[in-house]
Amino acid sequence: MRNPTPIDRHAGRMVCATRFLLAASVLLISSSALAQQSYVGRFDAYAGYMYLDSPHIKLAENGFHTQVGTRVTNWLSLGFDFCIGTGNTSINGPLLTPALQQQLGAQLAQLIAGGVIPPTYVLTVPLDSKTETYSAGPQISYRHFKAVTLFIRPDLGAMHETAIPHATDPVAQAIVQQLAPSGKKLDWVAFYGFGGGVDVGITKHFAVRIQADLVHDHLFNDLLKDGRNTVRFSIGPAVQWGHNVAK
């Protein structure tokens, strides 16, 4: 039996997340009165814990997630979304662009021929990462249940990432200096995807929000040959206030 690939692990995480959200929704819906919500505040705000997972490069980040929005109707909201997380991973040769692999391969071959490094040398560069995401747009909510609100949304926005490599040997250090002379790499890129979740009402103005998003991006396309799928899980308190748009 073959070992699971990063794509396999990513698919497994998505299946588990989907099952979790579905199970939570079914459980909460079954315990809620099947009645329309009597109060839907004009304004909404959320802040909570966030876990960002990019399995293709084995990068997992923990951080903070916040949202603010205004409800146009009881089913349509417009809002802004921001999150920030930090983590670490390692970049190796197969993740790099073909041109960069060829360039570095020639350099390493010369070092091997000169006896500077052994033929078994493998280039691996650990790095620290900080990721920020910014997005804005619509969200559609389903409020048929008194204590539970289901919602879905498109995810369109920008991602900013800072990568700080830490070379572990002189050869890697020279290559890092060549690729990132300042000691870090910065990049902005657009992302797209979809997300959704559930608000569990605790009081008229307060709820617990559980949500997940899946987006695609291609950060550092001058270094990395592939784009990546990133999954975000988030949980925390949400508040609503203002004019009742349910009337």
| Residue 61: CB atoms within 10 Å | 22
Band of residue 179 on the pLDDT scale cut at 50, 70, 90: confident
Band of residue 93 on the pLDDT scale cut at 50, 70, 90: confident
| Of 22-31, 81-90, 102-111, minimum mean pLDDT range | 22-31
Average pLDDT, the chain: 88
- The mean pLDDT value for 129-156 works out to 96
| Of 32-41, 85-94, 170-179, 208-217, minimum mean pLDDT range | 32-41
Condensed to tens digits (0 to 9), the pLDDT of residues 195-235 reads 999 999 999 999 999 999 999 999 999 999 999 999 999 99
- The mean pLDDT value for 12-36 works out to 53
| Max Cα-Cα span within the chain | 79
Task: Tally helices (H) and strands (E) across the chain.
Answer: 3, 8
CA 216, CA 212: separation in Å to the nearest integer?
Answer: 14
In the chain, the percentage of residues whose pLDDT exceeds 90 is 72
Token match 């990568």: residue?
A: 163
CB 58 within 8 Å of CB 90: yes
Q: Which residues lie below 8 Å from residue 122, measured CB to CB, with a gap of 6+?
A: 92, 93
In the chain, the percentage of residues whose pLDDT exceeds 70 is 86
Condensed to tens digits (0 to 9), the pLDDT of residues 28-45 reads 444 444 567 889 999 999
- The mean pLDDT value for 78-100 works out to 95
pLDDT at 174 exceeding the cut of 80 = yes
Please, what CATH class does the domain formed by 6-32+44-242 belong to? mainly beta
Position 236 scores a pLDDT of 98
